[in-house]
Amino acid sequence: MVILKNFILSAFLMATLLSFAYGFNGAMAVPPNLIKGNYDFGHLLGVQDDEQGNTTWLLFGTWKANLNNQTNSETDNSSSAFNAAIEMIKPDGTMKHTHALTNFVLSNSSSPNSNTTVYNGTSTISLKEGPVDAVPTSIKVMNKGVLSIWLNPESVKDHFGDDIIYGIIQNKSDSNRGDLGIYRTS
């Protein structure tokens, strides 16, 4: 089943890369209100497995962030520094639904090495029963190209399992890149 998981994840990555290779303009596929302002943004993907390694859910979506401009002393708790729409669907194409990650409040950040920054805090996650506040959330940015999102499984009733959700950081051109290597809009 690990092979199936890797195959599905590789297929998602290849489909994304091929769409860009054949002239797909990622900026046109993202709704304008998602990127208004000085935000970084991109696509999400992930696979959720059960205890036996069987793929139970496919995850995809979009995210936006202004984490570059946040520091521990400057964090404005009245505005979100990270938002995401996480869609889930069974591998057979059934039970598609969407969750929102909103109200990210940065607690601290660290750089364990020169290519990685970790942002820890809490967020609100929408579930079928209603929103869950103060969910411990960790966002890791790696090599200016990939980010990962970890949501505390206990806080969200193991809805996302203990698997990481990955994000791809969109790049438009080297001349418009921000601190994380992603292009800026204004």
* Torsion sign (Cα): 137, 108, 116, 102: positive
Please state, as a whole number, how many other Cβ atoms lie within 10 Å of the Cβ of residue 141: 26
Please state, as a whole number, how many other Cβ atoms lie within 10 Å of the Cβ of residue 122: 17
The CA-atom distances, in angstroms, between 141 and each of 25, 68, 95 are 23, 11, 30
Residues in the chain: 186
User: What's this model's pTM, rounded to 2 decimal places?
Assistant: 0.71
Q: What is the SS3 assignment for 128?
A: coil
Q: Quick check: 8 and 55 in contact, CB under 8 A?
A: yes
pLDDT digit string, tens, across residues 36-86: 567 788 999 999 999 899 999 999 999 999 876 554 444 444 444 799 999
> Which pLDDT score, from 0 to 100, does residue 67 have?
78
Please count the helices (runs of H) and the strands (runs of E) in the chain. Answer: 3, 8
Q: Quick check: 155 and 135 in contact, CB under 8 A?
A: yes
The domains of the chain are located at 2-176
Q: What is the distance between the alpha carbons of residues 121 and 107, in angstroms, rounded to a whole number?
A: 5
Say yes or no to pLDDT of 146 above 60.
Answer: yes
> Which pLDDT score, from 0 to 100, does residue 127 have?
96
Share of the chain above pLDDT 70, in %: 64
Q: What is the distance between the alpha carbons of residues 119 and 152, in angstroms, rounded to a whole number?
A: 14
